[in-house]
Amino acid sequence: MFSTIARSFVFILILALFPTSSQAFPQPSAYPISWDFKFEYQTPKRVVVRTAPGREPEAFWYVTFTVANLSRAEHHFLPRFEMLTNDGEVIRSDSNIPLGVLETIRIKEHNARLEGLNDIAGVLRVGEDQARDGVAIWREPHPKMGRFSIFVAGLSGEAVILKDDKGNPVEKTNPEGKKEPLVLWKTLELDYLMPGDEKNPGNDVIELVEQKWIMR
């Protein structure tokens, strides 16, 4: 049930709009049809940081990763990390995160090369030697994390325009108020479970329940 819930807010919304659709929801191609970055990630971790003198320490969660372009051409890396919490809230990473948090994570991970998402975004050059180390950061949504998912977009050029059961493109309203086709991108979904309670946050074992590629 958890992996179904974790399909994302967009997926749930589409099911609500098209409950009788006979078409299966788009899935990534079983064969390579576009470029894909090599992506390696570590288990999410918790860190507590005093972000300013005199302020109470705050808890943050983060995921470190390494991304490399092993294709034949340069491509833009425009990462988007989102967390789906146990209560269904979708939170985008790196939203108003104090600079001191990144520096604390660099020290904790013994990796001065770690880059925030805003800094790592851009052209990713070809070659293993051009790999970049990055980190996505969230404020802790709940002391008891329970089941949660992380979605990582920007790792592939594979995309599809979502269509209804009549073959017509599904539209969305862009920030300018104009209608445009709803495009789904190949996205990595990571489903986690952290048993335990809020009495010992950050020290409970985090289990990777499932890893899969979806269109989102």
pLDDT at 201: 64
What whole-number distance in Å separates Cα of residue 214 and Cα of residue 119?
A: 26
What whole-number distance in Å separates Cα of residue 194 and Cα of residue 208?
A: 9
pLDDT at 33: 94
pLDDT at 177: 87
pLDDT tens series, the chain, 216 aa? 444 444 444 444 444 444 444 457 899 999 999 999 999 999 999 999 998 888 899 999 999 999 999 999 999 999 999 999 999 999 999 999 999 999 999 999 999 999 999 999 999 999 999 999 999 999 999 988 999 999 999 999 999 999 988 889 998 988 888 899 999 999 999 999 998 666 666 667 899 999 999 999
Task: Say if residues 61 and 140 touch (Cβ distance below 8 Å).
Answer: yes
Q: Which two tokens stand for residue 177?
A: 């108020």
Task: Say if residues 100 and 32 touch (Cβ distance below 8 Å).
Answer: no
Q: Looking at the whole model, is its pTM more than 0.75?
A: yes
Task: Say if residues 142 and 191 touch (Cβ distance below 8 Å).
Answer: no
Question: What are the CA-CA distances from residue 161 to residues 105, 106, 216 (Å)?
Answer: 38, 39, 11
Helix extents (H) in the chain: 2-5, 9-17, 99-109, 117-120
CB under 8 Å to 5, separation ≥6 — which residues?
A: 84, 88
Q: Where are the domains of the chain?
A: 2-13+33-215
What whole-number distance in Å separates Cα of residue 156 and Cα of residue 158?
A: 5
pLDDT at 113: 96
pLDDT at 174: 84
DSSP 158-205: -EEE-B-TTSPBPEEE-TTS-EEE-EEEEEEEEEEEE-S-TTSTTTSP
Q: Which two tokens stand for residue 143?
A: 């002391």
